[in-house]
Amino acid sequence: MNIEELTALASQIEAAARDAGAMMLGAEADKSVSTKSGRKDLVTRYDKEIQRFLEERLLPLLPEAGFLGEEALGHDAHTERDFLFIVDPIDGTTNFVKGCNQSCVSIGLGIRGEMAVGVVFNPYRDEMFTAVRGGGALLNGAPLRIPDCAPEDALVLVGSSPYYRELTDVTFAMARLLFDRCLDLRRSGSAALDLCDVAAGRAGCYFECRLSPWDFAAGGLIVREAGGVVTDLTGGPLAFAQKCPVAAGNPQCHPALLQAAKDCGFSG
Ligand code: IPD
Ligand code: CA
């Protein structure tokens, strides 16, 4: 697909993300929470309903595509297909449950293992982030270009990998080092929005020691297309088909993440 075709597809994906965001905003206060992999890993009926809605909206756009979503709905994801939607119906589920108004819909489209389109919509701020590979990144239609900012003047976004207790000590050791080396730390509760905040220049960099593909598929492309750098924590490429560590930043700040990982003996 060429850039024009991908751009046309991206605007249809945006429309689906906007409608999914309206479902998030319309959720009742009582969200009847249950847990998945452990006591910190929450899910509500809205996560599942929005994923089902997105599956119904997105697959007709590309009937040959597979669909990998965060919530297990009992279907085969067909991740081996050339086209693959990678979807987080609500990124920031804990924020959603607690009423923090800091969650989003995240939709990536991979083509033969490379991200081609990324859409992240935050309905609480009405912010639509979009990227098309080779075509740049946009926030509500305006081009995003990451401003350069030295680590000592930059905010660092920390993802706590809440579902992986074995990563807690190294995560906080890295955060401690980065606190000394940078301006200050933030923890938002949504990996996709963290990546978009890096793309928008609100933060200089973001790291998390383990994420799933639906957390970073769309946001990673948005950072890259805005002029940032996205790798794993050793500087290697991200693996879109599996869980992996993520380091994203402007070109000046990204090396500070790799250095902190090295200094703390992070090994994956
Ligand atoms: C989580 C959020 C959180 C990050 C976790 C993710 P979820 O996604 O993005 O910020 O720290 O690693 O799993 O569970 O809210 O969709
Ligand atoms: Ca998520």
Return the best residue to mutate from 31, 190, 193 for the ligand 1 pocket (most ligand atoms within 8 A of CB).
Answer: 190
**pTM here?**
0.96
Nearest-CA residue for ligand 1 atom 2 is 190
The beta strand positions in 153-240, using DSSP E, are: 155-159, 184-186, 205-211, 229-231
Mutation choice for ligand 1 from 215, 233, 246, CB with most ligand atoms inside 8 A: 215
Q: How confident is the model at residue 210, as a pLDDT?
A: 97
Please determine, for residue 73, whether its predicted confidence score (pLDDT) is greater than 80: no
C-beta of residue 206 within 8 angstroms of C-beta of residue 194: yes
Which comes out higher in pLDDT, residue 73 or 106?
A: 106
List residues with catalytic annotation.
70, 88, 90-91, 93, 215
What atom in ligand 1 is closest to the CA of residue 187? 10
Whole-angstrom Cα distance, residue 140 to residue 144?
10
Residues 7-23 pLDDT 10s? 999 999 999 999 999 99
Q: Are 44 and 23 in contact (CB under 8 A)?
A: no
Q: CB–CB of 225/200 below 8 Å? A: no
How far is Cα 255 from Cα 13, in angstroms, rounded to an integer? 33
Q: How far is the CA of 2 from the centre of ligand 1 (A)?
A: 32
**Exposure of 251 by Cβ count < 10 A (0-12 exposed, 13-18 middle, 19+ buried)?**
exposed
Residue 75's pLDDT is what? 78
* Nearest atom (ligand 1) to Cα of 215: 9
CA–CA distances in Å: residue 215 to residues 32, 118, 200, 259, 264: 23, 11, 18, 23, 24
Cα end-to-end distance, the chain, whole Å:
35
How confident is the prediction for the chain on average, in pLDDT? 95
What is the CA(112)–ligand 1 centre distance, in A?
Answer: 26
Q: Tens of pLDDT along 93-149? A: 999 999 999 999 999 999 999 999 999 999 999 999 999 999 999 999 999 999 989
> Using CA atoms, how far apart are residues 52 and 153, in angstroms rounded to an integer?
42
Atom of ligand 1 nearest to the CA of 41: 14
